[in-house]
């Protein structure tokens, strides 16, 4: 059974600081997804990482994937208040029902002035 | 842009009522999903469908059923609503030709009294 663990689950940071959210998963997979959820809203797709070594960047967020280590990171550079949200990683199951995603529990990020 | 819509944003029902939640996507996606989201438990997959009239149980199917008579529409049915089904329900769709990236609807917050 595929398990996805994110850490930290709660992150409070000051504006202007850098930090990394980690996503570990338990079985082989080549695809990993990052989503953002604002309070009371639905999930919005941020990044799709399709292979080992993939790196995607959008603004102050950069995501990477190491399939050998079964690890993805979401790096936040010079955080601003607008980045406050919950961030989820999700991993695609390999083989069989490989369109299913298993989600981590999410990281609640609060950026303070 | 992919658009996934859900029939209601907020719904209040009484214990024992039959509840229908509807989801419609406009991008000809073959896969559709129903999740529920609860604080501290993350997203949990209830049912999914990879084709018209096809359905598979997710992680927590008990107390729910689904229907997919048309490709664009996926319905979640609570046969006899109970208070422990009070939750946020999220619908999503995806396509193999778009890396199985899931696109989410706005969510339905269901309260069962």
Percent of residues, chain B, with pLDDT higher than 90: 90
Residue among A42, A40, A9, A3 nearest A25 (CA)? A3
Query: Does A41 reach chain B within 8 Å, measured CB to CB?
Result: yes
For residue A56, what pLDDT is reported?
96
Give residue-wise pLDDT tens across range B18-64: 999 999 999 999 999 999 999 888 899 999 999 999 999 999 999 99
List, in order, residues 6 or more apart from A38 with CB less than 8 Å away. A44, A85, A86
Measure CB to CB from residue A42 to each of B42, B90, B101 and give the nearest one: B90
pLDDT band at A99 (very low <50, low <70, confident <90, very high): confident
Structural domain count, chain B? 1
Strand B87-94, strand B31-38: pairing: antiparallel
For residue A28, what pLDDT is reported?
83
Query: Does B2 reach chain A within 8 Å, measured CB to CB?
Result: no
Q: How far is A113 from chain B (nearest CA, A)?
A: 26
pLDDT band at B98 (very low <50, low <70, confident <90, very high): confident
pLDDT, mean over chain B: 94
Tell me the mean pLDDT in the region A62-90: 96
Query: Does A45 reach chain B within 8 Å, measured CB to CB?
Result: yes
Query: Does A83 reach chain B within 8 Å, measured CB to CB?
Result: no
Residue B105 falls within a domain, yes or no? Answer: no
Percent of residues, chain A, with pLDDT higher than 70: 96
- The domain segmentation of chain A, as residue ranges, is 4-112
pLDDT band at A79 (very low <50, low <70, confident <90, very high): very high
Q: Look up the CATH number of the domain holding residue B89.
A: 2.60.40.10
Q: Which of A7, A43, A88, A96 to mutate against chain B (most B CBs within 10 Å)?
A: A43
**What gap in Å lies between CA B108 and CA B77, rounded to an integer?**
13
Tell me the mean pLDDT in the region B90-111: 93
pLDDT at A96 over 70: no
Residue B109 falls within a domain, yes or no? Answer: no
pLDDT band at A95 (very low <50, low <70, confident <90, very high): low
pLDDT at B65 over 70: yes
Give residue-wise pLDDT tens across range A5-54: 999 999 999 999 999 999 999 988 878 999 999 998 999 999 999 888 89
pLDDT at A75 over 60: yes
Q: What fold characterizes domain A4-112?
A: Immunoglobulin-like (2.60.40)
Mean pLDDT check: name the lowest of A77-91, A92-106, B23-37.
Answer: A92-106
Contact A104 B42 (CB under 8 A): yes
pLDDT at A113 over 80: yes
Contact B100 A31 (CB under 8 A): yes
Query: Does B48 reach chain A within 8 Å, measured CB to CB?
Result: yes
Phi, psi of A39 (to 5 degrees): -55, 130
**What gap in Å lies between CA A51 and CA A65, rounded to an integer?**
7
Range of the domain at B26: 4-98
Cβ contacts (< 8 Å) between A35 and chain B: which residues?
104
């Amino acid at each position: 059974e595929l398990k996805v663990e994110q850490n930290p689950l709660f992150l409070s940071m000051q504006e202007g600081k850098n930090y990394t959210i980690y996503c570990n998963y338990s079985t082989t997979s080549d695809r990993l997804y990052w989503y953002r959820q604002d309070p009371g809203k639905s999930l919005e797709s941020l990044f799709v990482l399709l292979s080992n070594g993939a790196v995607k960047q959008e603004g102050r967020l950069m995501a990477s994937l190491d399939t050998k280590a079964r690890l993805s990171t979401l790096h936040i550079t010079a955080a601003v208040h607008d980045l406050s949200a919950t961030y989820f990683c999700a991993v695609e199951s390999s083989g069989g029902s490989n369109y299913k995603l298993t989600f981590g529990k999410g990281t609640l990020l609060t950026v303070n002035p | 842009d992919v658009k996934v819509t859900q029939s209601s944003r907020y719904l209040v029902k009484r214990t024992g009522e039959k509840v229908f939640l509807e989801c419609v996507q406009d991008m000809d996606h073959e896969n559709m999903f129903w999740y529920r989201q609860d604080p501290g438990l993350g997203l949990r997959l209830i049912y999914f469908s990879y084709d018209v009239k096809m359905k598979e149980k997710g992680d927590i199917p008990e107390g729910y059923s689904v229907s997919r008579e048309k490709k664009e529409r996926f319905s979640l049915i609570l046969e006899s609503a109970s208070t422990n089904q009070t939750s946020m329900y999220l619908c999503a769709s995806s396509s193999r030709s778009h890396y199985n990236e899931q696109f989410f609807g706005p969510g339905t917050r269901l309260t069962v009294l």
